Amino acid sequence: MMIKKLSLWSALSVTAFSGWAQDSSPDTLVVTANRFQQPVNTVLAPTDVVTREQIDKWQAKTVLDVMRRLPGVDVAQSGGMGQLASVFVRGTESRHVLVLVDGVPVARPGISNDSDLYQIPVSLVQRVEYIRGPRSAVYGSGAIGGVVNIITQSDEDRSQVGAGVGSKGYQEYNGTLRQRFGDTIVTAAGAYQTTNGFNVQPDSTYAGDRDRDGYRSKLFWGGVEHTFNDNFNGFFRGYGYKNNADYDQGGWGYDGGGDENQHYSQSWDTGLRFHSGLYSSQLLASYQRIKDYNYSSYVGRYNTGTTLDDMEQRYIQWGNNVVIGQGSVSAGADWKQERLTSYGADFTGAPAKDSYKRDNTGLYLTGQQQIDRVTLEASGREDHDDEFGWHGTWQTAAGWEFVDDYRVTLSYGTGFVAPSLGQQYGAERFGIAANPDLQPEESKQWEAGIEGLTGPLDWRLSAYRYKIQNLISYDNDAYYNVKSATIKGLEWTGNISTGPVAHSLTLQYIDPRDDETDKVLNRRAKQQVKYNLSGNVYDLGWDVTYQYIGKRYDVDTTASPYRTVEMGGVSLWDLAVSYPVTSALTVRGKIANLFDKEYETVYGYATAGREYTLSGSYTF
């Protein structure tokens, strides 16, 4: 994205913060890069924005369907909808991606320390802002590979209902009611989604794995916004969802073993925003609770063998921004408290419980300044954790528009990921000991890029290198800092319109390697091609997507000893169409995996094959 003669001062004179993605030009303004609102073409890091209109055009059924299309993203999933999934950004681990909902970090209850992005219903999403590269100097723990900010608030004053059906027993129903009462806007939304699914482990030797693995999800969202005067406004919102997913145990399965996941999530947020002249400030408070059950469908949730991770997260953020010269300075503080209680049974079958609590306080300072054709950016942050004390991160970037519509960028940044509560304090029920010496995973990243507007082609080429140290791994009876990895990559993105047809192309090459063994990290494809073209034939809208995923490696855990396996590359095509029957009623149809290719992204787990959906929406 190019600067295109835009004064950075004028861009930053309408600042806001990460809880507020609301502006008259939502397709060009982002709030995630530096916690204040700015045009996307002034952000030096590679940034993508996905709107609700695009999600509807793609007819995405899950958040993972959206993420797969984006540059630098690789998804490995153990089956279909609702199944365990990892989202790798630029080859980093899934836990190295910071997931925000309305600017608030998503709680991480599991011992693996992932954000469980796959659990978030796509009906909740009104917009996605996705930034590649480290952002720990702005947000703290988790932002090594990048940041995904899911924004649930829409700017559009409209109400809508929708429904859809598809293959494998797929059904979806959703509705949004939005009403303005003077200076107050009230919004309520709900959604239901279900599928019978398919057998995700068809080669499992356990007889109980021969059924379909379905998925069911319910969602409710509500919010109130009020404008007190020209300088002061506020909001209150809450949402909750419940997901049920059936899964397979594998060859080691047994009657009474866990084959059902039930995931409850609720969040309550409130905030106040003040803006006057060159100064803006926001205070945001949030409460999250996640309850994640795994149990046997044969004996039910309330019997021996059920496990529960019950996480509460409290979060407060205070941010301030001042426009200075041709740029701005932002500073603030945030506080996060995590409380986790995990229930299960020890190796003797006796009930066991682990309880944890951890507080983290962060102080951050960011700044951006435009000097003629040069844009400079710097950020610094200090985090204080109860266990490992103070931890500092920083990043800096520079961009030079050396001729009109062509810019080179160079950046360096550090990042870190704090251990999960279970990794840090142990899990008695699993025989995992605490490790008081466990340290955060740390990264250093260089990136160089050049971008330009060549005729109608808007393009960017990036080269980057990560060095990640203190990687946490399980060994014998506890978690330790034992590994390191080096990731190198090249990424080219381009967008062009040829008459009525819009084209978007991503070419990416990633070489992620374990420093000790020099082996490619598992489940990452070194090469990917992502190509999308869309347009209209009279009133009929159409969208075609092609994705090539190169070969990747995984581990066969059914073999003794374990062995490395290679999973071949695959080419996939999706076709979607839409037609406005009236100005209010639109019908849509999609064929995913048009040529019914069989492939795996996790060894031993099938993918869905060809799928059909038909849906419609009515706006009022």
| Domain assignment present for 172 | no
Q: What is the mean pLDDT of residues 396-417?
A: 97
Distances (CA, A) of 561 to 5, 205, 521, 558: 61, 18, 19, 8
Please tell me what DSSP assigns to residue 424. Answer: H
Report d(CA 349, CA 540) in Å as an integer.
60
The pLDDT of residue 514: 96
For the chain, first and last CA: distance in Å?
35
Which two three-digit tokens encode residue 327? 């740029």
How many Å apart are CA 211 and CA 388, to the nearest integer? 46
Among 164-178, 189-203, 472-486, 539-553, the minimum mean pLDDT is found in 472-486
What's the pLDDT band for 273 if we cut at 50, 70, 90?
very high
Please choose, from the candidates 271, 357, 279, 379, the residue with its C-alpha nearest in 3D space to the C-alpha of residue 316: 271
Task: Compute the distance between CA of residue 78 and CA of residue 113 in angstroms, rounded to an integer.
Answer: 18
443-452, pLDDT tens digit by residue? 999 999 999 9
Are the beta carbons of 364 and 331 closer than 8 angstroms? yes
Confidence of residue 310 (pLDDT cuts 50, 70, 90): very high
3-state SS class at 90: coil
Measured CA to CA, the distance from residue 412 to residue 597 in angstroms comes to 40
- 113 in any annotated domain: yes
Distance, CA of 115 to CA of 120 (rounded, Å): 10
Rounded distance, CA 55 to CA 558, Å?
Answer: 38
Q: Side chain identity at 367, as an amino acid letter?
A: G
Distance, CA of 286 to CA of 281 (rounded, Å): 17
Question: How large is the average pLDDT for residues 144-159?
Answer: 92
Query: Does any domain span residue 171?
Result: no
pLDDT level of residue 308 (50, 70, 90 thresholds): very high
- Exposure on the CB side of residue 263, measured as CA atoms within 13 A: 24
Q: How far is CA 255 from CA 206, 207, 308, 350, in A?
A: 9, 9, 20, 19
Three-state DSSP at 137 gives helix
Q: Tell me whether residue 159 is in a domain.
A: no
- What mean pLDDT do residues 372-377 have? 96
Q: Greater confidence, 389 or 515?
A: 515
Task: Supply the DSSP string of 170-197, one letter for each residue.
Answer: EEEEEEEEEEEETTEEEEEEEEEEEEEE
Instruction: State how far the Cα of 135 lies from the Cα of 132, in Å rounded to an integer.
Output: 9
Residue 455: CA atoms inside 13 Å, Cβ hemisphere, count? 3
Residue 2 in any domain: the answer is no
Range of the domain at 296: 8-154+182-619
Q: Which residue has the higher pLDDT, 617 or 16?
A: 617
Q: Tell me the C-alpha distance between 321 and 323, whole Å.
A: 7
- Which CATH number goes with the domain that contains 402? 2.40.170.20
Q: What is the pLDDT of residues 451-469, one digit of tens each?
A: 999 999 999 999 999 999 9
The model's confidence at residue 15, banded by pLDDT at 50, 70 and 90, is very low
Model confidence over 34-60: pLDDT tens digits?
887 888 888 999 999 999 999 999 999
Span 417-431, average pLDDT: 88
Confidence check: pLDDT of 22 > 50:
no
Burial 261-294 (b: 16+ CB within 10 A, else e): bbbebebebbbebebeeeebbbbbbbebbbbbbb
State pLDDT tens for residues 96-107: 999 999 999 999
Task: Work out the pLDDT band at 305, boundaries 50, 70, 90.
Answer: confident
Asked whether residue 397 is assigned to any structural domain, the reply reads yes
* 562 φ/ψ angles, rounded to the nearest 5 degrees: -55, 150
For residue 336, the model assigns a pLDDT of 98
The pLDDT > 90 percentage for the chain reads: 84
Q: How many domains does the chain have?
A: 1
* DSSP result, 568-584: --EEEEEEEEEEESSSS
Asked if residue 85 belongs to a domain, the reply is yes
For the chain, give the mean pLDDT: 92
CB proximity list for 116: less than 8 A, separation 6 or greater: 106, 108, 110, 263
Q: Flag the least confident range among 170-184, 216-230, 416-430.
A: 416-430
Does some domain include residue 457? yes
Q: What are the tens digits of pLDDT across the range 534-573?
A: 999 999 999 999 999 999 999 999 889 999 999 999 999 9
* Residue 472 CB partners (closer than 8 Å, separation 6+): 113, 419, 423, 438, 441, 479, 480, 481, 482
Question: The sheet that has 97-101: what strands, in order across it?
Answer: 47-51, 127-132, 146-151, 97-101, 104-105
pLDDT at 617: 97
